[in-house]
Amino acid sequence: MKLIPAIDLKNNKVVLAKNGSRDKYIEIPKNIAPSSSPIAFIKHLLSFHHFSTIYLADLDSINIFNSYGNKINEIISTYKHINFIIDNGVNNYSQINIYEGTNYKQIIGTETYIEYKKLQNNTTTKYILSLDYKNNAILSKNNEYTMLKPSDVICMSIDNIGTLNGPSYKNLESTKKLYPNSNIIVSGGLRNMEDLFKLREKGYNDIISLTAILEKKINYNNKLLI
């Protein structure tokens, strides 16, 4: 299995997620991590484990799309050996893949994206679809995301983020029904190794998390993790 740390940025600082309520996210406290600078924070994460992929969300841009004034280019150029998956709240096709470097993939989030037909017609565009669930329903501007056939789909259970309440298996089953041939990436609620074992049994191999990582609920010596 692959464990993917999630980093949320607000005002170019790493913030701590809580119940998906972004207005309540706070700069990560020093008793949890030595720095809220994203470059230093990633270095801290790498002291836990040799993570090969990191999820990176620009919350300011998800709120109002902005391709400037963030640290994403600096982050992906500093850590060229890491593959990033980036959610910057793109609304339309022209905003996709605006960053330098080749070590990242664009997230298309149903919460913000609109132009699915253009995405469908440009089959060479590499992306990861994120189904953004709130109250067990997909947040979306329209339902044209159903026409896509992505290789990878994130099941983003926003209500579970930062809670340690466990993954939403209801949302995972809904995602699997919509995209039976896609690799489904789990996000939200991971508590411990027992959750990882259960997810593995159900066929899920890629898990996005941060709280369980920072609270040291994960045994990286277990052969389950790559």
Q: Is the pLDDT of residue 226 over 90?
A: no
Indicate the pLDDT class of residue 19, thresholds 50, 70 and 90: low
Q: What's this model's pTM, rounded to 2 decimal places? A: 0.95
**CATH 3.20.20.70 for domain 2-214:** yes
d(CA 85, CA 82): 10
Question: Where is pLDDT greater, at 99 or 23?
Answer: 99
Q: Phi/psi class of residue 122: alpha, beta or left (left: φ > 0; alpha: ψ in -120 to 50)?
A: beta
Tokens of 4: 């993917």
- Residue 138: which of 125, 154, 151 has the closest Cα? 154
136-169 pLDDT, tens digit each = 999 999 999 999 999 999 999 999 998 889 999 9
